[in-house]
Structure 1
């Protein structure tokens, strides 16, 4: 009889254990979630002109040597325009087999076997002189004008200003929704950062203009932008509280 009572008591505890192990879930706190966007505009500090020096030859050593000479001449010409030596840098250099060319009748034209391309980035801090310098480059020889863009020396300033504006916009929206719903805005729970993106003012991107040998000096029609625009977004979540 004692064994039967012991087994029955153990069975009762086994059935009751799972129910005792499950706590009562806490009520979920209601929230307000909004996406804020922000913009910032700052005056550019410099312009970047990209040019390319291209040479052709029947051997790799010759085409490389010719390209070096043409590049040295191009850099000297750029320096004569008042651009500092440290502001001229190689962006890319490559040597490849010259693609096949044909005339208007579709007949193959004999071309040098190899082509060398040296792409240079030129930083210009005199924004008012960008058009003049670009025109001088185009009036020279051995240079292929590719693009001009504008930027800030401290890119993070634009992004940070846009992020601050995005947070301000998110709070404005949250307060508006809370007021319209008749509730209060409680504790800030989460902030999810979105990347800040600069607006790059770039001209002649992908368009190549060949410099003209012995051409008269000219000024390229380049007007620097008054400001560069940066954008950012942020996701923010607040608790909903009782209205004070």
Structure 2
């Protein structure tokens, strides 16, 4: 549909409205990498399989607090020999990486030290996020629309008139949470921990608040002002 052009009898005003708010995150994502290393390929594979299964069982034991658990990659290959050394002895290196999303941050604080306390296990993160269907996105849009209406009304009142009707409302920028990758701790690598050593203390993590933003462009008609 073609919008009518503005005329002195039907002037128009076009404004931009922005909505911003900070909210607590709803999800925390961590990466877990399990490794194995040795001279015998079959032994390395067996160790890697066992450690990976134990890590998965530990994570799954958190029940409903785990929103998502995915294996991101698997590799096992011989290491390149260093210069000046013969190739008779070849070391094999294996690695499996999984990604975990949790909704309970108290469980996160308990799980991270337990994972990091395991042999040949690396943990990094967390990355704080909102759910894709988070109500925060809708609230940011409502704030943006309300700001556009207030701006348009202020312009109309400055001219001694009032708004008529809405002609167009467009999304000037998709709402988005804070930049991913905001973390609360550096990678933790427990290469020399005794496997199965329990009693790891809970880690106190402070969730990083997420900024949500929405932006709209709105076009209104105004009643003709008496200039």
- Please tell me the TM-score bracket, short chain as reference: 0.7 to 0.9
Q: Structure 1 residues 118-127 or 60-69, which shifts more?
A: 60-69
Following the alignment from structure 1 to structure 2, what is the Cα–Cα distance between the partners of residues 119 and 85?
21
CA displacement at 1:97 relative to structure 2 = 5.2
| Structure 1 match to 2:188 | 209
Verify: 1:76 aligned to 2:57, yes or no: yes
- Alpha-carbon distance, 1:184 to partner: 2.5
SS state at 1:188 partner: strand
Instruction: Tell me the equivalent position of 1:135.
Output: 113
Q: Retained in 2: the 8 A contact 1:158–1:198?
A: no
Equivalences, count = 212
d(CA) in 2 for partners of 1:107 and 1:176? 78
Matches of 1:101 and 1:204 in 2, distance apart?
A: 37
Q: How far is the alpha carbon of 1:62 from its aligned partner? A: 6.4
- For residues 85 and 60 of structure 1, the distance between their equivalents in structure 2, rounded to whole angstroms, comes to 37
1:137 Cα offset (Å): 1.9
TM-score normalised over the length of structure 1:
0.68
* DSSP 3-state at the match of 1:120: strand
Deviation at 1:38, TM superposition (A): 0.5
Where 1:195 maps in the other structure, the secondary structure is strand
What is residue 144 of structure 1 aligned with on the other side? 122
What is the CA distance between 1:48 and its match in structure 2? 2.5
C-alpha displacement at 1:187, in angstroms? 1.6
TM-score of the aligned structures, taking structure 2 as reference length = 0.73
In the alignment, does 2:219 pair up with 1:240?
Answer: no
Task: Please tell me whether the aligned partners of residues 40 and 230 of structure 1 are also in contact (alpha carbons under 8 angstroms).
Answer: yes
Unaligned runs of 5+ in 1: 1-25
Distance 1:160 1:65 in 2: 49
In terms of Rg, which structure is larger?
1
In 1, distance between residues paired with 2:14 and 2:5?
A: 18
Q: How far is the alpha carbon of 1:197 from its aligned partner?
A: 0.4
Matched residues in 2 for 1:221 and 1:101: separation? 42
Q: Root-mean-square deviation (CA), in Å? A: 3.6
Mapped pair 1:197 → 2:171: no
